[in-house]
């Protein structure tokens, strides 16, 4: 490969809003046939809002919001930000937790106003033997049917509320998936979120249900990429989160959203500066064309 042709490629990349770690990166895109897309923050805007509050019999909404909001205020997860903002808006200043721990891929736990509080996936609450009462299970199922995320809240030994947050698919994502397919690439959706939400998002952007990997714990995202590689696929991965860093590094080509975390940008080979997924297709087309001129 002549260095000059590669450098021309990187210069054109900068014009398109693609930052390339080094000219050698383009080489690795040659044989890419699969593009793994993180869901939250990559295919969806990642800026969620609190859209509904459901409480168990005898509980009040403001208490649920205050306890959940106080804990989530200490987390940087997009779901946590939505809950903290929605809770503060409705209940005023949130208490400072007396204890806080992040449970990666599951939620948060801690102590607020003397109550032991859990906020996150139903699985997190189940681990502490909190079971959702039927009315809350039904509210959760209905929210997930719509492609929203239901967050369970428990305190003092019982599941007592379900908060619904929704995260819209970015207006550019369906077009981005079409462009990737037009390049002969197979798009795959990868997320820690539940299967129903993941499938609803996949359907909206045109990814087949069989290409959806949901409920994947952060440390297992890298395994999904590795398994695809073991089956002979050459994998590009697009992601934005701290959770995506290992998978971005494992992929044959890692593309980080410029709007994402430093950890993702650090781990990626390329950065999509404006966080526009359509540019992922441009990046792959550009590198193929650049390499084409070299051969
Ligand atoms: P993704 O892969 O979609 O970016 P994560 O792996 O970070 O998501 O989290 C997986 C799931 O765990 C989330 O979709 C959410 O249901 C739950 N979760 C994680 N962190 C939190 C939190 N702070 N509050 C509520 N739910 C959370
Ligand atoms: Mg993400």
Per-residue burial over 138-171, b if 16 or more Cβ lie within 10 Å, else e, is: ebbeebbeebbbbbbbbbeeebbbbbbbbbebbe
Does 79 sit in the ligand 1 pocket, CB within 6 Å? yes
Q: How far is the CA of 11 from the centre of ligand 2 (A)?
A: 28
Complex prediction ipTM: 0.90
The average pLDDT across 195-199 equals: 90
How confident is the model over 33-79, as pLDDT tens digits? 999 999 999 999 877 889 899 999 999 999 999 999 999 999 989 89
Say yes or no to pLDDT of 217 above 60: yes
- Check residue 146 and give its pLDDT: 77
- 238 CA to centre of ligand 2 in angstroms: 9
- CATH 3.40.50.1000 residue window(s) in the chain: 3-45+169-294
38, 167, 244, 276: the active-site residue? 38
**Could you give the percent of the chain with pLDDT greater than 90?**
75
Higher-confidence residue of 74 and 31: namely 74
* Predicted local distance difference test score (pLDDT) of residue 16: 82
Active site residue 38: yes
| Cα separation, 195 vs 288, whole angstroms | 34
217 alpha carbon – ligand 1 mean position (Å): 9
List 110's β-bridge partners, or say none: 100, 117
In the prediction, which pLDDT does 9 show? 61
The residue among 105, 207, 201, 212 whose CA lies nearest residue 148 is 201
**What pLDDT is attached to residue 292?**
62
- What is the chain's Cα-based Rg? 21
d(CA 237, CA 99): 36
Say how far apart CA 107 and CA 127 lie, in whole Å.
Answer: 12
Distance of CA 39 to the CA centre of its chain: 4
Q: Is the CB of 42 under 6 A from ligand 1?
A: no
- The whole-number pLDDT of residue 287 equals 75
Mean pLDDT of the chain, nearest integer? 91
Cα of 19 vs centre of ligand 1, distance in Å, is 28
227: its two tokens:
């398994």
The topology (CATH level 3) of 3-45+169-294 is Rossmann fold (3.40.50)
Q: How far apart are CA 203 and CA 134, in angstroms?
A: 28
DSSP letters along 132-188, please? --HHHHHHHHHHHHTT-EEEEEEETTEEEEEEEEE-PBPTTHHHHHHHHHHTTPEEE
Helix, strand or coil, per DSSP, at residue 295: coil
Nearest listed ligand to the Cα of residue 245: 2
Percent of the chain scored above 70 by pLDDT?
A: 95
Please tell me the residue having the least CA distance from ligand 1 atom 22: 107
In ligand 1, which atom is closest to the CA atom of 72? Answer: 23
Instruction: State whether the beta carbon of 191 lies less than 6 angstroms from ligand 1.
Output: yes
Q: What stretch(es) of the chain map to CATH 3.40.1110.10?
A: 49-166
Q: In the chain, what is the straight-line distance between the N-terminal and C-terminal CA atoms, in Å?
A: 7
pLDDT of residue 293: 56
- Taking the model in full, what pTM does it have? 0.72
**For range 136-162, the mean pLDDT:** 94
Counting ligands in written order, which one lies closest to the CA of residue 78?
Answer: 1
Span 97-101, average pLDDT: 96
Beta carbons of 81 and 69 less than 8 angstroms apart = no
pLDDT tens digits, residue range 241-292?
A: 999 999 999 999 999 999 999 999 999 999 999 999 999 999 888 877 776 6
Q: Yes or no: is domain 49-166 CATH 3.40.1110.10?
A: yes
Contact 209, 9 (CB under 8 A): no
> pLDDT band at residue 1, thresholds of 50, 70 and 90?
very low
User: Which of the four pLDDT bands, split at 50, 70 and 90, describes residue 196?
Assistant: confident
């Amino acid at each position: 490969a002549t260095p000059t042709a590669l450098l021309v490629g990187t210069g054109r990349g900068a014009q398109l809003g693609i930052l390339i770690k080094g000219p050698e990166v383009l080489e690795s895109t040659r044989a890419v046939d699969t593009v793994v897309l993180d869901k939250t923050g990559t295919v969806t805007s990642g800026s969620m809002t609190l859209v509904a509050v459901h409480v168990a019999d005898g509980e009040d909404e403001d208490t649920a919001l205050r306890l959940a909001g106080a804990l989530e205020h200490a987390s940087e997860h997009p779901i946590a930000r939505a809950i903290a903002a929605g809770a503060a808006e409705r209940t005023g200043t949130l208490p400072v937790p007396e204890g806080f721990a992040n449970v990666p891929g599951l939620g948060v736990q801690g102590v607020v106003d003397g109550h032991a509080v859990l906020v996150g996936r139903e699985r997190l609450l189940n681990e502490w033997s909190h079971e959702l009462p039927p009315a809350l299970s039904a509210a959760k199922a209905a929210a997930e049917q719509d492609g929203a995320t239901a967050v369970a809240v428990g305190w003092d030994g019982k599941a007592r509320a379900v908060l619904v947050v929704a995260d819209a698919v970015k207006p550019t994502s369906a077009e981005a998936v079409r462009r990737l397919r037009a390049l002969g690439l197979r798009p795959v959706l990868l997320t820690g979120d539940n299967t129903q939400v993941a499938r609803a998002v996949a359907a909206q952007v045109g990814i087949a249900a069989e290409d959806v990997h949901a409920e994947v714990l952060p440390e297992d995202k890298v395994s999904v990429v590795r398994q695809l590689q073991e089956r002979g696929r050459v994998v590009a991965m697009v992601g934005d989160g701290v959770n995506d860093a290992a998978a971005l590094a494992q992929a044959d080509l890692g593309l980080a959203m410029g709007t994402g975390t430093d950890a993702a940008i650090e781990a990626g080979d390329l950065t999509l500066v404006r966080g526009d997924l359509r540019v992922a297709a441009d990046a792959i087309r550009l590198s193929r064309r650049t390499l084409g001129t070299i051969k």
